[in-house]
Amino acid sequence: MLRKFLFSLLIIAGLLAGMYGYSLVRNDFTTDDGLSHQWRDYEGKWVVVNYFALWCAPCLREMPELNKFHQQNEGDIPLFAISFDDVTPQELAELKQKFAIQFPVIADIEQPLPMAKPNSLPATFIIGPDGEVKKQLLGEQSAASLYSAIEILQTL
């Protein structure tokens, strides 16, 4: 009886260790440059996620401002884009080149993101250092509006 109990305990401990190990190596999303990311890698940082679409004129107009924000904050405040529409990797590469998108575009989502897909575009999400969505910004954004929103959120 004790032997069965110890054996069961070992099995449960092994399963828990395996689940924990898997959570350490699984990826949450992959960007168009082939890099895999986990949200926990961004703990303690503000992150900006922008949804865009080819058919959304305001989305395309804001791209130069998003590029500017990315260039000014590359290591400090990561910026990622997500195509609202399902596109192939080739279509994504063409979109990125055509509209001179200079920041990473999420190509494959493997785990749920901290935000739901928006109902309207353009939509930009500001994720706080705790990994939670702190603000959803609708409409065209500029580098200045993103700085302002993050600055206000940091004071709350």
In the predicted model, what is the mean pLDDT of residues 71-86?
92
Residue 21 lies in a domain: no
> Is 99 a domain residue?
yes
Mean pLDDT of the chain: 87
Q: Is residue 22 part of a domain?
A: no
More confident residue, 143 or 10: 143
Give me the percent of the chain exceeding a pLDDT of 70.
84
Reported pTM: 0.82
Say if residue 21's pLDDT is above 50.
no
Q: Which residue has the higher pLDDT, 58 or 156?
A: 58
> Does residue 102 lie within any of the structural domains?
yes
Residue 19 has pLDDT above 70, yes or no: no
Does residue 40 lie in a domain region?
yes
pLDDT of residue 7: 55
* Of 10-19, 21-30, 143-152, minimum mean pLDDT range: 10-19
The pLDDT-based confidence of 62 (bands split at 50, 70, 90) is: very high
pLDDT computed for residue 74 by the predictor: 72
In a domain, 56, yes or no: yes
Residue 106 falls inside a structural domain: yes
In a domain, 86, yes or no: yes
How many separate domains does the chain show? Answer: 1
**Domain CATH code at residue 110:** 3.40.30.10
Say yes or no to pLDDT of 78 above 70.
Answer: yes
Identify the pLDDT of residue 2: 67
Phi and psi at residue 34, to the nearest 5°: 85, 0
Mean pLDDT, rounded, for 71-81: 91
Residue range 64-77: average pLDDT? Answer: 93
Range of the domain at 144: 27-155
